[in-house]
């Protein structure tokens, strides 16, 4: 019962329609303020109950008799169950998941032509179209290399830099300007030597290429060495470890007489030195680089 502003307050049962009574019954409420909810059936309204005075029976309720109250309560409970049971139930159909084929599609195999059978333009095209490793996904263009063919001098760095990737040429930017000065000191020019990176695509953020990425490009470099036929190969920085397959320090490799074998099994002398990018930070090592270049110059002259 709810109270009102009458003096003294007179308890009044609220008027409920059939929909409101049904909501209460579905919520498990069979009595409201001590009064049972007597639904008259599905779709019929509950009788409105007006003001009820203490000790006076209202419609649908017998006051003062426990037995009649129990019967009314049982009738309300039975009616509410019948009303709920008459409501149609919705059955949600779950979508049947599509059957996944047990047969997996084999990965695409990149077929590389026999590099030994390609001419120089064909080798360049093979590099430009290579997708053998993940580096190809981020490059702007490949850096094949440039210079004379054949050439007595061959210079190899590890991978293209950002400027190299933009222009498609090796040793661009500030490091390239320093490299050009090194060539001038030897009486050389870009047009008289051959310059190429070991890895033909720029690694993301200039990180060191992986062994797999180096192995993917190593065949291109070997094919270039076979066609350039250099008398000496000058290798810069970490490219020396990758090309020679050595874990020794750069200082240890500089002190050694290093060689690699070309496709015909002929030994080609290799001179290891610092990369021009390193010299821009450690200028004191320029004297060591000059010593290394003098060693390479003696090798070339002795082979003439």
Using one digit for the tens of pLDDT, what is the confidence trace for 167-196?
Answer: 999 999 999 999 999 999 999 999 999 999
Kindly state whether residue 235 falls inside one of the protein's structural domains.
Answer: yes
User: Are 246 and 295 members of one domain?
Assistant: yes
Q: Which of 134-138, 256-260, 262-266 has the lowest mean pLDDT?
A: 262-266
pTM of the shown model: 0.64
User: Are 71 and 155 members of one domain?
Assistant: no
User: Are 165 and 53 members of one domain?
Assistant: no
CATH of the domain at 259: 3.40.470.10
CA distance 231 to 300: 6
Instruction: Please give the tally of structural domains in the chain.
Output: 2
Kindly state whether residue 11 falls inside one of the protein's structural domains.
Answer: no
CA dist list (Å): 200 to 38, 150, 153 = 87, 20, 19
**Nearest CA-CA partner of 140 in 111, 117, 115, 161:** 161
- pLDDT of 234 above 50: yes
User: Are 205 and 253 members of one domain?
Assistant: yes
User: Are 212 and 280 members of one domain?
Assistant: yes
Kindly state whether residue 3 falls inside one of the protein's structural domains.
Answer: no
Kindly state whether residue 205 falls inside one of the protein's structural domains.
Answer: yes
Per-residue burial over 76-89, b if 16 or more Cβ lie within 10 Å, else e, is beebbeebeeeeee
CA distance 143 to 197: 7
pLDDT for 72 = 52
User: Are 75 and 135 members of one domain?
Assistant: no
Query: Exposed (0-12), middle (13-18) or buried (19+): which is 109, by Cβ within 10 Å?
Result: exposed
Full domain range(s) for residue 282:
117-302
Q: Under a CB-based contact definition with an 8 Å cutoff, are residues 154 and 234 in contact? A: yes
pLDDT band at 264 (very low <50, low <70, confident <90, very high): confident
The per-residue pLDDT for range 200-213, each reduced to its tens digit, is 999 988 899 999 99
Kindly state whether residue 95 falls inside one of the protein's structural domains.
Answer: no
Q: Which of 58, 82, 106 is the last residue of a domain?
A: 82
Kindly state whether residue 28 falls inside one of the protein's structural domains.
Answer: yes
Kindly state whether residue 217 falls inside one of the protein's structural domains.
Answer: yes
Kindly state whether residue 37 falls inside one of the protein's structural domains.
Answer: yes
Residue 270's DSSP bridge partners are 233, 258
**Greatest Cα-to-Cα distance within the chain, rounded to the nearest angstrom:** 131
Q: Which of 82, 103, 136 is the last residue of a domain?
A: 82
User: Are 196 and 265 members of one domain?
Assistant: yes
Higher pLDDT, 167 or 105: 167
Taking residues 118-141, report their average pLDDT: 94
pLDDT for 100 = 40
User: Are 58 and 207 members of one domain?
Assistant: no
- pLDDT of 280 above 50: yes
- pLDDT of 163 above 60: yes
User: Are 140 and 284 members of one domain?
Assistant: yes
């Amino acid at each position: 019962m709810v109270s009102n502003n009458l003096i003294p307050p007179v308890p009044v049962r609220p008027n409920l329609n059939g929909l409101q009574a049904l909501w209460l019954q579905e919520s498990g409420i069979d009595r409201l303020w001590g009064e049972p909810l007597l639904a008259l059936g599905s779709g019929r309204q509950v009788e409105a109950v007006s003001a009820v005075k203490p000790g006076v029976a209202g419609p649908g309720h017998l006051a003062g008799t426990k037995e009649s109250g129990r019967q009314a309560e049982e009738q309300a409970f039975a009616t509410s169950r019948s009303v709920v049971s008459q409501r149609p139930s919705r059955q949600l159909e779950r979508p049947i998941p599509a059957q996944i084929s047990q047969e997996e599609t084999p990965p695409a195999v990149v077929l590389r032509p026999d590099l030994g059978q390609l001419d120089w333009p064909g080798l360049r095209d093979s590099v430009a179209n290579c997708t053998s490793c993940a580096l190809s996904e981020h490059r702007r263009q490949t850096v094949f290399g440039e210079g004379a063919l054949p050439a007595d001098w061959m210079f190899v760095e590890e991978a293209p830099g950002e400027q190299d990737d933009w222009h498609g040429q090796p040793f661009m930017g500030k490091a390239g300007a320093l490299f050009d000065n090194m060539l001038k000191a030897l009486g050389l020019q870009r047009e008289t030597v051959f310059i190429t990176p070991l890895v033909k695509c720029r690694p993301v953020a200039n990180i060191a290429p992986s062994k797999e990425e180096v192995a993917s490009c190593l065949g291109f470099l070997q094919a270039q060495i076979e066609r350039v036929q250099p008398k000496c190969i000058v290798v810069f920085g970490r490219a020396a470890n990758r090309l020679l397959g050595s874990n020794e320090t750069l200082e240890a490799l500089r002190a050694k007489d290093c060689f690699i074998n070309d496709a015909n099994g002929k030994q080609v002398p290799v001179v290891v030195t610092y990369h021009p990018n390193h010299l821009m930070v450690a200028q004191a090592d320029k004297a060591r680089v000059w010593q290394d270049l003098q060693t390479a110059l003696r090798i070339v002259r002795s082979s003439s």
